[in-house]
Every structure is written in structure tokens, then in C-alpha cells.
Amino acid sequence: MRKEPFFVGDFVHVFNRGNRKQEIVRDEKDKLYFLQALYYFNDSHSILNIFRNLNDLFRFNLNKMMWPEEFPKRDPLVKIHAFILKNNHFHLILEEIRESGISEFMRKLSTGVTCRFNKKYDETGKLFQGSYKARRVDKDNYLQYLNVYIHIKNAFEMYEGGIENAMKNFDDAYEFAKKYPYSSLSVYEGIESLLIKIISTDWLIEAFNDNEFKNFSKECLEYLDFDETTLNVIFEHSSV
């Protein structure tokens, strides 16, 4: 996946994994911090020691998301349409809403997550495997498949027995994916959570009407070897 120039209005698939495929989150607090980072770093202001300030202001509760009145008015860098966090990597679907917004957001996110991880675990050096990977998305075709890849295929890999067992128990596995707390699928499926403050549903929400997404996901996983190579082929075809 090559990095391309982005323009306002572009949808972009962004992902990165741990250096040498190491874990980027090790416990629930790390995962909750990642969710908070998606919210608080998605802002044009550079607030020094933002999480320390949050804690000082209102004894910061990781289970809540509040934008303090003491901070400048929130000014998002990107729209986050979808994401999933796994132990050693993450995927995002972002929309560029201002020039260089994605680059700035990813710089802040990567730096913040790395600094916290290294401080907590007394580590040094790179947490991620180089710079993030990014590709502009054709939202009328490729995005439909990418939506399944991020929300369902990645979640099914975490289902007991892996994706093969998930396909044998598709309905149960789909419920597992819906309830996985570190994915935006719950937002689109109407499950109330703090993620509603992170996710912009103004485009993808149409894909989730009348069980269409569930049925489409099952067809994709039955007939496609849904890895990054397959996505690249779909992307090239949809761009013709």
C-alpha cells in the first residue's frame, strides 16, 4: 500500500502495525487510551501534555470523553468513519477535511501512543513499523469491501477458533464483532458507547440498513480470500 497525496473530501484507508509485529497494546487500559487518543488528538490545537491536563482538570475518567471548557474550542483535523484496534495493529478509514489534516492527525496519534507505551513499559525506540500506510479510497466501490475487511474480517480473526470457526457460526461471530469494544461496528449497529464521539457516520451509515451489510459481509468472506492482496486487486479494478 503506497502513500498518496490527499485532497479535501478524500477517503483514506490508514493502517500501521507494531515494529517487528510486536504488540502496540498490552492491556485494557492501553486499548482505552487508544480510543481516547482518537478523540483528543483529532484537533488542530497542540495542547502540551494534554492527558496530564485532562487528569488535572477533572480527574480524567478513561470511560468518558469530555472536552473541557478550559481548552480551545475543538477543531477536528479529520473525520474518522471507521476503525478497528487489534493487539499489534490498527486500521482507520479517515476523511481529509482540511489540507494535511490526515498527516497531522497521524503524527499526533503515533507520537502520543508511542510515548505513553514507552513510558509505561520502560521501552525505547519505535513502537510502530515505520510510517503509517495510507491509500485513497473510491468510496463508491472499494470502500464497501474495505468496510467488511476492517469491521468483520479483522474481528472474526479474534473469534474463538479463528475465522474458519467464525464462518461456521456466522451469526454468533457477527454478534461478537458487533460487541467488540475497540471497533466502530458497534456505532453503526446502534449499540450505545463512548465511540459515538469519535465516529462520523454521515456516509457509511447507509451501508447498514436492513441487514444488507451483514449479508454482504458473509458473501465476501465466503467467496474472497480477504487479505491485503485481494483488497489491492479490488482497488485497482474499481479505479479503472
CATH code of the domain in which 164 resides: 3.30.70.1290
- As a whole-number percent, the residues of the chain with pLDDT over 70 amount to 88
Which amino acid makes up residue 213? Answer: F
Look at strands 78-85 and 89-96 and give their pairing: antiparallel
Rounded Cα distance between 33 and 162, Å, is 26
* Residues with Cβ within 8 Å of residue 230, at least 6 apart in sequence: 224
Residues in the chain: 240
Single pTM value for the model = 0.90
Whether the predicted pLDDT of 73 surpasses 80: yes
pLDDT classification of 39: cutoffs 50, 70, 90 = very high
pLDDT confidence of 239, banded at 50, 70, 90?
A: very low
Which grid coordinates belong to 137? 479510497
Full domain range(s) for residue 67: 1-240
Listed in sequence order, the residues at least 6 apart from 46 whose beta carbon sits closer than 8 Å to its beta carbon are 108
Tell me the average pLDDT across 46-65. Answer: 74
C-alpha cell at 17: 502495525
More confident call, 210 vs 104: 104
- C-beta of residue 11 within 8 angstroms of C-beta of residue 17: no
The number of distinct structural domains making up the chain is 1
